[in-house]
Amino acid sequence: MTESNLLALSLDELLAVKVAIVTSAAKYEQKTELAPASVTVVTDRDIQLNGYRNLAEVLGSVRGFYSTYDRNYHYLGVRGFNRPGDYNSRILILIDGHRANDTVYDSGPIGNDGYLDMDLIDRVEVVRGPGSAVYGSSAFFGVVNVVTRRGRDLNGAEAAFTTGAFDTYQGRFSYGRQLTNGFEFLLSGTIRDSAGHPQLAFPGTGTASGLDGEAGRSLFAKLGLEGLALTAGFETRTKEIPTASYATVFNYPGNQTRDNRAFADLQFDHRWDEAGLALQARLYYDYDYYLGHYFYTNNPPLPATSIYRNVDIGHGERAGADVQVRKELGERHTLAAGLELRDNFKVHQYNYDENAPLAVNLNQNSPSVIVSPYLTSEWQLRSNLVLHAGARFDRYDHDTYSANPRLGLVWQSARDTVFKALYGTAFRAPNALELYYNDGLKTQKPASGLQPETVATYELVWEQALARQWQFTASAYFYKIHHAITQVTDPADGLLVFCNTGDNTGRGLETELAYKADNGFRSRLSYVFQESEDITTGAALSNSPKHLARWQSTLPLYLDKIFLSPELTYTSPVQSSSTSPTPGRVAGYWLLNTTLYARELVRGWTISASGYNLLDRRYYNAVGDEIAFGQIRQDGRSFQVKLTGRF
């Protein structure tokens, strides 16, 4: 697009140009409409205008995605699939292309345990469908790449203060610049504290008082110069647990988890235009440390002296390298070859009881080395027809191998019409939690003979621009999972265990209609129909809503300065786990959130006020078998006020 054309565009059109490229579908830049996947990009403007507080809320606004919360962690459901005991291990979370899923639990952080303050996000790329042909394990249902802001985006200091319901306070200070020699940097720190809900009632059990608090700290740094980028992050978060999960003592202070994470990622990108050759290389290191304190008793009803503490530790460290060479073969063919090496040299689980004498229940280290070559090809068969093909081979220790192909045919039948026919497979190797975890047989025992799970997905996508301001998207998909890994309660002993429960299928239709006007008004309406079931029994899977509907709008109230953004969502009823102590139906619900956003009323300052669950609906989320109640009530009406200043 020429400079004169860019100057003629409105603000919203310029923002659309900004996100016309996606990098996470093939590990290199592609136009979103021509990428071999159904892609959604959530921009920084979307995040700010809607008052999203964490990545779970961002992803929960995307068609086909939904999130649940058990008052400790957030869990992501995708296309009707969100199994008990899964800590987001079926979606790969990336930060600027760096794998954020941890080493021990393969958990993708999407709640307040994540690395990033929402103000540090430039955009979130959501790539649906199996991604193992490029990324290996964990990219089972899709890839989420969080692209962060750069030093040039701040060009100075920025501070933000947030206050909200339940005595929640958050502060951030960031500083970034780009120097005249091209070097740029961004440094940021965030502090968050919340007292949590003061009282949580659990039917048939009682009320937990003052046990929902959390505290978090995070640091983030990004440095760059001439194709070289260093990104690093650290976060620590402590969360009290009010739900008496894993059969702990109810309404007892001290049940809590702490998550510490850190990473460093050095990336080099260079392109030789005359040769049509590009090189991308990455070196990285990750540190993850989880500490859980759980209080038990062997003698209910109990005197205080009979309570003892169980300490649960997960410690993971890894280092790796990823190299990709991309070559343009003529004007119509691009070939990319890559190799990833990942050394999980610390995968340690440790569990013990602090009674006398000290009892060690688990002391397991299960390191692994992963070697993964991959190849992708983008071939323009005709001027309006592109064939994508790729495959990756993953070799794990312990005799685990997997080969996964991906095929995509993209046909731009007219200037504003794109059709995609997609096929791909993915796998997920059992993680250390699923294979080995044992808490002294109080609530959970190790798995026996657990195999990797695999999925094959077929999808058709239609993307249609209607005039200049309307965009319609529809996709129909079908997937089949073999050897699905699920946490269940063994009826023989009442203990939780992970096992291959058989085969599952899922099918669905996702539709979305979006409108953007030149004056800043925008609206988006989506509806998703989805079904997932166990092939053997024909029963619907638990925590799988059949219908998801969302309406979001942004109304400019005053020039390009004040906006009102209502968001209305519907989630249909689901079943809780069939092996839960209290199986049953969890009712569907409507939620209304609204954010009033004002920018530059005073130079350099922005203020927003958000209301969540404004209708004060009483609603619940289905939870895993480790929580006896089967479903957990969510927050009623709440609010957040945020003030941001740039200096």
What is the token pair recorded at 314? 């997960």
Assess whether pLDDT exceeds 80 at residue 578. no
Averaged pLDDT score across all residues of the chain: 92
480: phi then psi, degrees, rounded to nearest 5: -135, 125
**Could you tell me which residue, 135 or 83, shows the higher pLDDT?**
135
What is the token pair recorded at 176? 């970034």
Task: Output the domain CATH number for residue 395.
Answer: 2.40.170.20
Task: Give burial (CB, 10 Å; 0-12/13-18/19+) of 451.
Answer: middle
**Interval 138-172: pLDDT, tens:** 999 999 999 999 999 999 999 999 999 999 999 99
The answer to the question of residue 287 being in a domain is yes
Those residues whose C-beta lies under 8 Å from the C-beta of residue 236, and which sit 6 or more positions away, are 216, 217, 218, 258, 259, 260, 261
Q: Give me the percent of the chain exceeding a pLDDT of 90.
A: 82
Task: Give burial (CB, 10 Å; 0-12/13-18/19+) of 300.
Answer: exposed
* Tally of domains within the chain: 1
Q: How many residues does the chain have?
A: 647
Instruction: Tell me the helices (H) and strands (E) count for the chain, helix number first.
Output: 7, 40
The answer to the question of residue 89 being in a domain is yes
Give the separation between CA 485 and CA 83, rounded to whole angstroms: 8
pLDDT band of residue 305 (cuts 50, 70, 90) is: low
Give the separation between CA 170 and CA 152, rounded to whole angstroms: 24
Model pLDDT, residue 150: 95
**Interval 588-632: pLDDT, tens:** 999 999 999 999 999 999 999 999 999 999 999 999 889 988 899
Assess whether pLDDT exceeds 90 at residue 392. yes
CA-based Rg of the chain, rounded to a whole angstrom? 24
CB atoms within 10 A of CB 274: 6
Structural domain including 460 reads: 21-646
Assess whether pLDDT exceeds 90 at residue 431. yes
**Interval 614-625: pLDDT, tens:** 999 999 999 988
What is the token pair recorded at 479? 């997937």
The answer to the question of residue 480 being in a domain is yes
Q: Residue 2 carries which DSSP code?
A: -
The answer to the question of residue 139 being in a domain is yes
The answer to the question of residue 14 being in a domain is no
**What SS3 string covers 190-248?**
EEEEECCCCEEEECCCEEEECCCCEEEEEEEEEEEECCEEEEEEEEEEEEECCCCHHHC
* H-state helical runs in 92-165: 132-135, 151-154
Q: Give me the percent of the chain exceeding a pLDDT of 70.
A: 95
The answer to the question of residue 1 being in a domain is no
pTM: 0.94
Give the separation between CA 263 and CA 197, rounded to whole angstroms: 32
Residue 362 Cα distances to 397, 437, 444, 560, angstroms: 21, 7, 11, 58
Amino acid at 20: A
Between the CA atoms of 405, 409, 410 and 411, what dihedral angle is there, to the nearest 10 degrees? 180
The answer to the question of residue 195 being in a domain is yes
The answer to the question of residue 10 being in a domain is no
Burial state string for 349-359 with b = 16 or more CB within 10 A and e = fewer than 16: bbbbbeeeeee
- The number of C-alpha atoms within 13 Å of 51 and in the hemisphere containing its C-beta is 31
